[in-house]
Copies of this chain bind each other. A is one copy, B any other.
Amino acid sequence: MPHDLLPPGRKSGIPSATTSRNMYHLSLHMSYLTNGRGALDALVTRKRICMKGCDIIHEGKEGRSAYLIYNGWACSYRLLRNGTRQIINFHVPGDLLGIRRLLSPNFDDNLCAITCIELGEIDIDSLLTMLCTDNRLSMSILWSAFREEAIIAQHLVDIGRRKPINRAAHFFLELGARLNLAGFGAKTEYDCPLTQSLIADALGLTAVHFNRVLKQLRELNAMTFHNGRVEFLDDRKLEHLADFDSSYLR
């Protein structure tokens, strides 16, 4: 039974990642979200800190909150009866978490802190009432739902039809693009606090095999991933491997 993100964990040995920025410099990655952001920020009632490995939202548990990530990383995942785990999506600073339970708790996945994470807590009920009056806010929420759906759909295509090496290339490119849009990381490198087995669980591979795939990427001089840092060595080669087009992120 995999449990590498279940225990509360010790003090993170992992560098605090890409999050050493002003908390107001959040992922203003698109017009709608930018417009709605002010209204969203206003709804944050309190700050919450989650330690690395803690569940932020647990499946089935009633909860009346959504969260805005100020800094740190999280992931949504599902555990299967056969003991495996599928990670649905990783979440980076600026992302909005848990909106799906706005309308139904059944829609939501487990949500777990990958690094120590700082969250703005938003009360679902006040969000709901605000939605009725503030139109830009509803647009913002809708946008963010669509964007997440597009990311997940892309992820689905990745897992369903791409070979592991292409899948991995696509993953790192997408993550880089997302961080870039959120105002973090450079074009050719970024901090990434994920472990190999976390990524493997997102890509539908075993950790062992993902490790070999990383080796291949290294030997192709396409990219490296060491000590929580991703470096793109040959963008064109990578993009060719990944068949990547970032337009769905905008």
Within the complex, what minimum Cβ distance (angstroms) separates A193 from chain B?
22
Residues 177-227 (chain A) with a chain B CB within 8 angstroms: 203-204
Q: Mark A79-99, 1 if CB is under 8 A from B, else 0.
A: 011101110100000000001
Closest-by-CB residue of B relative to A158 is B86
- B162 x A159 contact (CB < 8 A): no
Q: Does A250 contact B (CB under 8 A)?
A: yes
Measured between beta carbons, the chain B residues less than 8 angstroms from A103 are 32, 139, 142-143, 146
Within the complex, what minimum Cβ distance (angstroms) separates A60 from chain B?
9
Q: Does A6 contact B (CB under 8 A)?
A: no
Stretch at the interface among A15-23, A47-55, A117-125, A130-138: A130-138
Measured between beta carbons, the chain B residues less than 8 angstroms from A107 are 146-147, 149-150, 248
Q: A104-B250, A156-B159, A161-B204 are in contact. Are A142 and B138 (CB under 8 A)?
A: yes
- B131 x A138 contact (CB < 8 A): yes
- Determine how many copies of this chain the complex contains: 2
- B142 x A102 contact (CB < 8 A): yes
Q: Is the interface of A mostly helix, strand, loop or mixed?
A: helix
Q: A100-B150, A143-B103, A248-B107 are in contact. Are A157 and B81 (CB under 8 A)?
A: no
Within the complex, what minimum Cβ distance (angstroms) separates A108 from chain B?
8
In the assembled complex, the Cα of A150 lies from the Cα of B99 at a distance in Å of 12
In the assembled complex, the Cα of A145 lies from the Cα of B135 at a distance in Å of 17
Q: A146-B100, A148-B149 are in contact. Are A247 and B106 (CB under 8 A)?
A: yes
Measured between beta carbons, the chain B residues less than 8 angstroms from A160 are 86, 159, 203-204
Within the complex, what minimum Cβ distance (angstroms) separates A51 from chain B?
26
In the assembled complex, the Cα of A153 lies from the Cα of B190 at a distance in Å of 27
- B162 x A80 contact (CB < 8 A): yes
